[in-house]
């Protein structure tokens, strides 16, 4: 598949539909402001945050490609979920502090960015053991971290104060 890029580093570029976004290529967000994507993103494609702004996902997204954060912030809010994505390559900022379910699941975490937990727990299921699974960035907040499968290496100076759980792996 190809690439659909929303924006060019400014504040324009959006998908105005309320129906699902079917992604079998790469959906790249390149905006300098805050944008909320409430539509469900499905398909086998990838999601890439390349703009300096904040992209907030509020839907229960079911796309199965990789999630890459190269710049800015990718945030989950409300019941927002990317649990089916093959993994998160976090080179900038991943924020789950706005999730209202108390926890957020991802298959794998790799990179050197930041993870803002807020009071939530990030559950790394390691459903994709070949993704990298080494996070040298910093997870912060009062929430916790759970590894519920496979191996995840944390090599950064994490500052989160919640519980660390190794459920299996």
Per-residue pLDDT of the chain (169 residues; tens, 9 = 90+): 899 999 999 999 988 888 999 999 999 999 999 999 999 999 999 999 999 999 999 999 999 999 999 999 999 999 999 999 999 999 999 999 999 999 999 999 999 999 999 999 999 998 777 888 999 999 999 999 999 998 999 999 999 999 999 998 6
From CA 142, how far away is CA 49, in angstroms rounded?
25
According to DSSP, residue 40 is labeled P
Its pTM stands at 0.96
Nearest CA to 27 among 2, 9, 52?
A: 2
From CA 81, how far away is CA 63, in angstroms rounded?
10
Residue with tokens 């300098």: 32
Question: Residues 26, 6: contact at Cβ < 8 Å?
Answer: no
Nearest CA to 126 among 95, 98, 148?
A: 148
């Amino acid at each position: 598949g190809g690439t659909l890029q929303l924006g060019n580093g400014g504040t324009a570029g959006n998908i105005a539909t309320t129906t699902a976004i079917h992604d079998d290529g790469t959906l790249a967000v390149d905006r300098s402001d805050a944008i909320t994507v409430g539509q469900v993103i499905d398909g086998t494609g990838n999601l890439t945050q390349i703009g300096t702004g904040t992209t907030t996902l509020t839907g229960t997204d079911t796309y199965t490609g990789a999630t890459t954060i190269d710049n800015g912030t990718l945030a989950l809010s409300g019941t927002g979920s990317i649990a089916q994505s093959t993994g998160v390559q976090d080179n900038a900022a991943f924020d789950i502090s706005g999730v209202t379910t108390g926890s957020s699941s991802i298959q794998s975490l790799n990179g050197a960015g930041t993870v803002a937990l807020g009071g939530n727990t990030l559950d790394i299921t390691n459903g994709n053991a070949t993704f990298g699974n080494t996070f040298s960035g910093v997870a912060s907040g009062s929430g916790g971290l759970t590894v519920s499968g496979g191996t995840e290496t944390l090599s950064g100076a994490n500052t989160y104060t919640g519980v660390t759980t190794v459920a299996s792996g």
